[in-house]
Structure formats: C-alpha cells, structure tokens
C-alpha cells in the first residue's frame, strides 16, 4: 500500500547540502553575464508568456519539491501544483510537459488522487514517477497490484536494448533509489518496458505518445544518473530550450517591479538574512529611492550582525534605511517569559508594532515588499491537500502586518533558496551575506532556554561567535545547513585552576539538511568540537561545560525552542 510515506532516505540526510549547490564559477559567470554590480539592463528578457514550463503534479511525495528543483537546475522553469489544479491555472504557464510525482496513496484506495483529464487530453509529454507511474498505469488501462515485498533502497537499473530519448548519456546499468510497495503488474496497452531491476520488470516504461513511467525516484541524490533522465525528458522529449536563467529572471523581474510600482513608495523589513537582503537589493535596483528599508534591531541578533547589515545596505548600496534600536523594549516584554511559544508570540507581535510605528512616520506608502519564496507559495497551495501539525509558530521578518492596507511586492515568490542566492550574488551582494546560514526570526531568544536576559544574551553571543568562527575556519560553514550554540538553563559544577565553578551548559548544534524539513546532526571532526569546547570554556565567562547535540530532525527540531 503506502509507499514513500515519510520514509527518509537514510543517507540523504547525512549528505552535506549538495543538491542546490552550484559551483562558485557558475555564480561568477552569472554575475558577469548580467554585469556584476552594474544595473542589469533588460536585453533579452523572456516575457512570462514565452517562458516554457514543466508542471509537476503533486501527489504528496516528500520529494515533490525536489523534482521541481532538479528541473530548474536544468534551466527549465518548473512549478509544483496540487493534483486537482484546473487547466485554466496551468495553461498560462505555457506547459511543455508534465511530471506526476510520487505519493503515499495506493491507486485502488477510495479517494486516491489521480491525474486530471487534461494530462492526457493535452497530448503533452508525461513522466510518471513511482506513484505517478502507477497512476498512469491505472488510468491508461494497465494493472497495479500490491507488491509481494516492499522495495525500499538501492536497486540496479538495467536499460533494455531499445532506443529511447530518455537514455541519452545514461550508463547501461546504474544504481537507482526505490521506495514503493505497489507495483505495475501489467503495462497499459501500447507501452513497452524500457528498463528493469531485479524486482521491477517495468522499472521504466514508455509509449509512442511520449508518456513514460519510472518506478524509481530520479530526483534523489541516491539515483546518481537521475538528473540525466530528467534532463533528457525536458530537453529531448518535451523539447525545452532551457531559457530559465537567473539573468533572464532578473531582467524580467526588474521591468515588472518598475511597472508595478510606478511612482509608488515601497517599504521593506531588513533583517540581515538572505531573503530580506535580496528582496531589498532587487527592489532598490529597480526603483532606487522609492524604497525605504526598516531595520528593527530586536536585540536578539548575533554579534556584529547589526553593524555588518547596516554597512552593506547603507554604506555600500546607499539605500534609505530607518534603523530602530528596540532591544530594551523587546527585553522588557520578554522578562520572566520561559515558554517557547510565548516568546515567539511576543517577539512576533512586538516586531509588527515597532515596524508599524516606523512605517507611519514615513508617510504615504503603497507597497510592502516581502521575501516570500517558492517553497512558501507551494506550502500554502498544498496545505489544503496535506495534513500538517503545527510544531512551532514561525515568525519571519517577512510575515508582516496583516492590518496594513498595502499591496504586496514579492519578487522572489518564484524562486527556490539556491536561486535566491544566485540572484543575490548577481546583484552584487557580498558572498558572506548571500551564503549566510538561516537564522530564525525570533533570533537568539529561542536559543536561550528559559528567561532571556541581557547577561544570557551576552554569554550566548560570545559562545555563538566561537562556533561560527571555528566552523568557518574549518571551511564547513557552507556545507552545514546551520551551526550554532544554545545556552541551556542547566548549571553544573566544574573546576578551573584550583577553584570550583558552577556555570552554564552550552550546547552546540550543527546539522545538514536540504530544506529544514528533515535534518541530521553533522558528523563534524572531533578535533573541531574539541577546539570549540576549549575556546568556549576559556573565552566565555560563566560557561564551564559544552555538549554536542546528536539528534536528528525528526524526532528533534533544528532549533531547541
């Protein structure tokens, strides 16, 4: 029955983030292509109407978003949509082909999601992956049965001796990642088997109508030639040209922002994080002084963060910035609060209050810029069709006032995080800022267990500084999704010199992840941990013990609160 339901690929989470990684040289090329720090001049912007797209129909697989990312890495625009999306929403995207994702259902279950009729009626190429292949089989007259044994993990794919456009540049045999229980027993009429594995005689099937099915997952890293298959599908089967590049996106978006804003005024919150930094720079590039950024310092930022952010935006980029030091105000409101959700709520509310007060002082404003990314868009589009429990109330500096009657400007809503980084570099933002690890909106408050005080903030900042420093020196900063310190509310006895100490316990957290939905604790070298621990107990007054967090997500979360 259920096949890839919440099954984590064990090694996936061990890998340091590679999927979205793009060589620095590629960034440099992009930067050069659009003129580095010079304003990007719209030469050959691709109007949205001409932008070719591949549409991924989501059946609920944990890998659905990954498929879309892989396609984008092939420089073809790709959108992930719920399986019941009507054709009228798809048609304007100029689809060149469809991919049906995997999913946890079984095609014979009552209410199992199936492909809408337009998938077959449009006569566009279709690639069904795992459950997507079973959907094709079921709807086109083949037979799917519960597999005698679940096939989960590596298998070797052998290509049959036939010609297929999917096979260009593939090895005759290569490893693939399987994760399914149901299997295709009988292919639909007109289909031939193109490849097999030990347990799946129809590991790849296809017909002359350009409809293909893959029983394995080409999108995951454990299928090393999977990206080639996807690339063959989009280029050789769907005929895409590959016009989704960051330079075309930037050119296109700059003109769109100019048109949309006209002579209006825009405000944006600045936090020092990658998304808000790229949004601000992007909009500033389009409309210059019509943009004002509001930088609320809630006093929960890391060491030197305020200065660095300020220097980049005010001094280097010459933006209008309203800087508000609201740290005392936040600390007052957090006094005595130990409940994590309460901390988040207070910080979120206070942030909006300060932001609104400052925005009012600016006078008439027409637009609010937000760093909404494509995963957020997908998340809200899919949330109706997927069950999700609330674990934490996320506060994002982007998630701003519901009350303010402003139009939204969301220039990054089509982009994945790695694409946002490419845009940031191409717009001339410093690498250090573009490659900054994610930092939560409520800042250090959710890394201090128990009450947040000035003293504890100072201790955590100092410990965090050591961690960041050492991780960077070890050249691990970019490979890790996040690495940071937590100040626990545990105190323990130690000995320094000949004296007894009674000090705080600091925990170190370093994780690898693709998207923060799952994460694994990073296997950083012991020597590095030893250096971090030594430095913290020697350099940070009040701390006499350091531990390393070796839990993955799930069952833990990345942040401690």
Please say which residue, 175 or 438, places its beta carbon nearer to ligand XMP.
438
CA–CA separation, 242 and 518 (whole Å): 31
CA–CA separation, 312 and 308 (whole Å): 6
Closest separation between CB of residue 389 and ligand XMP, Å? 12
Tell how strand 499-512 and strand 520-521 pair up: antiparallel
Q: Which residues from 507-536 bind ligand XMP, rule CB under 6 A?
A: 516
Q: Which residues from 65-84 bind ligand XMP, rule CB under 6 A?
A: none
Please say which residue, 519 or 543, places its beta carbon nearer to ligand XMP.
519
Q: How far apart are the first and last CA of the chain?
A: 36
With both helix axes pointing from N to C terminus, report the angle between 246-261 and 417-426 in degrees, rounded to the nearest 10: 80
553 touches ligand XMP (CB under 6 A)? yes
From the number of C-beta atoms within 10 Å of its C-beta (0-12, 13-18, 19+), residue 43 rates as: exposed
557 touches ligand XMP (CB under 6 A)? yes
Please say which residue, 290 or 396, places its beta carbon nearer to ligand XMP.
396
From the number of C-beta atoms within 10 Å of its C-beta (0-12, 13-18, 19+), residue 201 rates as: middle
Closest separation between CB of residue 347 and ligand XMP, Å? 8
343 touches ligand XMP (CB under 6 A)? no
Task: Single out the residue of 21, 70, 78, 74 nearest to residue 51, CA to CA.
Answer: 78
Closest separation between CB of residue 509 and ligand XMP, Å? 10
Q: Where are the beta strands (DSSP E) in 187-297?
A: 192-196, 204-206, 211-214, 266-269, 291-297
Task: Enumerate the active-site residues.
Answer: 130, 217, 219
Please say which residue, 18 or 492, places its beta carbon nearer to ligand XMP.
18
Task: Single out the residue of 17, 86, 11 nearest to residue 55, CA to CA.
Answer: 86
421 touches ligand XMP (CB under 6 A)? no
Q: Which residues from 356-415 bind ligand XMP, rule CB under 6 A?
A: 391-392, 394-396
Please say which residue, 131 or 521, places its beta carbon nearer to ligand XMP.
521
Q: Which helix (H) or strand (E) holds 153?
A: strand 143-159
430 touches ligand XMP (CB under 6 A)? no
Please say which residue, 166 or 420, places its beta carbon nearer to ligand XMP.
420
How many CB atoms within 10 Å of residue 475?
8
299 touches ligand XMP (CB under 6 A)? no
Please say which residue, 122 or 437, places its beta carbon nearer to ligand XMP.
437
Phi-psi region of 79 (alpha: psi -120 to 50; beta: other; left: phi over 0): beta
558 touches ligand XMP (CB under 6 A)? yes
Q: Which helix (H) or strand (E) holds 344?
A: helix 340-362
482 touches ligand XMP (CB under 6 A)? yes
443 touches ligand XMP (CB under 6 A)? no
Burial 120-147 (b: 16+ CB within 10 A, else e): bebebbbbbbbbbbbbbbbbbebebeeb
Size of site (CB under 6 A) for ligand XMP: 16
Q: From 12-20, 136-144, 186-194, 437-445, give the range in contact with ligand XMP by CB under 6 A.
A: 437-445
Which of 430, 438, 494, 542 binds ligand XMP (CB under 6 A)? It is 438
Please say which residue, 27 or 484, places its beta carbon nearer to ligand XMP.
484
Within 305-339, residue ranges assigned H as helices are: 305-310, 327-334
Residue 164 near residue 140 (C-beta atoms within 8 A): no
17 touches ligand XMP (CB under 6 A)? no
Which of 272, 424, 440, 503 binds ligand XMP (CB under 6 A)? It is 440
Q: Which pair of tokens denotes residue 39?
A: 């304003």
Closest separation between CB of residue 391 and ligand XMP, Å? 6
CA–CA separation, 230 and 243 (whole Å): 16
Please say which residue, 353 or 392, places its beta carbon nearer to ligand XMP.
392
441 touches ligand XMP (CB under 6 A)? yes
Closest separation between CB of residue 191 and ligand XMP, Å? 42
Report in angstroms the alpha-carbon separations of 215 from 12, 169, 341, 432, 543. 19, 20, 42, 41, 53
442 touches ligand XMP (CB under 6 A)? yes
Lookup result for tokens 């002579």: 263
Lookup result for tokens 């980049």: 312
Closest separation between CB of residue 559 and ligand XMP, Å? 3
Residues that bind ligand XMP (CB under 6 A): 344, 391-392, 394-396, 438, 440-442, 482, 516, 553, 557-559
């Amino acid at each position: 029955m259920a096949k890839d339901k919440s099954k984590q690929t064990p090694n996936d989470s061990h890998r340091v983030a590679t999927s979205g990684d793009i060589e620095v040289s590629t960034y440099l090329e992009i930067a050069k292509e659009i003129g580095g720090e010079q304003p990007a001049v719209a030469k050959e912007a691709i109007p949205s109407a001409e932008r070719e797209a591949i549409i991924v129909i989501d059946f609920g697989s944990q890998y659905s978003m990954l498929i879309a990312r892989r396609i984008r890495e092939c420089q073809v625009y790709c959108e992930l949509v719920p399986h019941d999306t009507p054709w009228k929403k798809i048609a304007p995207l100029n689809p060149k082909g469809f991919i049906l994702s995997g999913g946890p259902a079984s095609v014979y279950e009552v209410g199992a999601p199936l492909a809408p009729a337009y998938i077959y009626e449009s006569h566009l190429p279709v690639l069904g992956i795992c459950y997507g292949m079973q959907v094709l089989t079921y709807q086109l007259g083949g037979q799917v049965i519960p597999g005698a044994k679940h096939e989960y993990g590596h298998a070797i794919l052998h290509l049959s001796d036939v010609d297929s456009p999917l096979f260009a540049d593939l090895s005759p045999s290569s490893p693939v990642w399987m994760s399914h229980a149901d299997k295709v027993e009988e292919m639909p009429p007109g289909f031939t088997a193109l490849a097999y594995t030990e347990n799946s005689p129809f590991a790849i099937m296809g017909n002359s109508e350009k409809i293909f099915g893959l029983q394995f997952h080409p999108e995951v890293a454990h299928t090393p030639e999977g990206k080639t298959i996807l690339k063959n599908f989009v280029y050789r089967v769907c005929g895409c040209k590959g016009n989704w590049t960051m330079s075309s996106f930037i050119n296109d978006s700059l003109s769109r922002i100019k048109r949309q804003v006209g002579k209006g005024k825009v405000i944006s919150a600045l936090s020092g994080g990658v998304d808000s930094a790229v949004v601000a720079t992007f909009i500033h590039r389009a409309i210059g002084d019509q943009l004002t950024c509001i930088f609320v310092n809630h006093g929960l930022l890391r060491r030197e963060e305020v200065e660095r952010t300020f220097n980049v935006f005010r001094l280097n980029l010459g933006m209008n910035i309203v800087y508000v030091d609201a740290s005392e105000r936040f600390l007052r409101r957090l006094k005595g609060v130990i409940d994590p959700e309460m901390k988040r709520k207070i910080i979120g509310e206070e942030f909006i209050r300060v932001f609104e007060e400052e925005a009012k002082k600016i006078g008439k404003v027409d637009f609010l810029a937000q760093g909404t990314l494509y995963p957020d868009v997908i998340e809200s589009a899919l949330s109706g069709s997927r069950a999700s429990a609330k674990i934490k109330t996320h506060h994002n500096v982007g998630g701003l006032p519901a009350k303010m009657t402003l139009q939204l400007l969301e220039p990054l809503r089509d982009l994945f995080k790695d694409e946002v980084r490419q845009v940031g570099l191409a717009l001339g933002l410093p690498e250090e800022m573009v490659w900054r690890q994610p930092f939560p909106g409520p800042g250090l408050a959710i890394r201090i267990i128990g009450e947040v005080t000035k003293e504890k903030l100072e201790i955590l900042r100092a410990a965090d500084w050591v961690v960041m420093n050492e991780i960077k020196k070890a050249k691990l900063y970019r490979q890790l999704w996040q690495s940071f310190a937590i100040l626990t509310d545990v105190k323990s006895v130690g000995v320094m010199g000949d004296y007894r100490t009674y000090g705080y316990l600091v925990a170190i957290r370093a994780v690898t992840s693709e998207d923060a939905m799952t994460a694994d604790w990073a296997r950083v070298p012991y020597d590095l941990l030893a250096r971090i621990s030594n430095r913290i107990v020697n350099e940070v007054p009040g701390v006499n013990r350091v531990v390393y967090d070796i839990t993955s997500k799930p069952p833990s979360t990345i942040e401690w609160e």
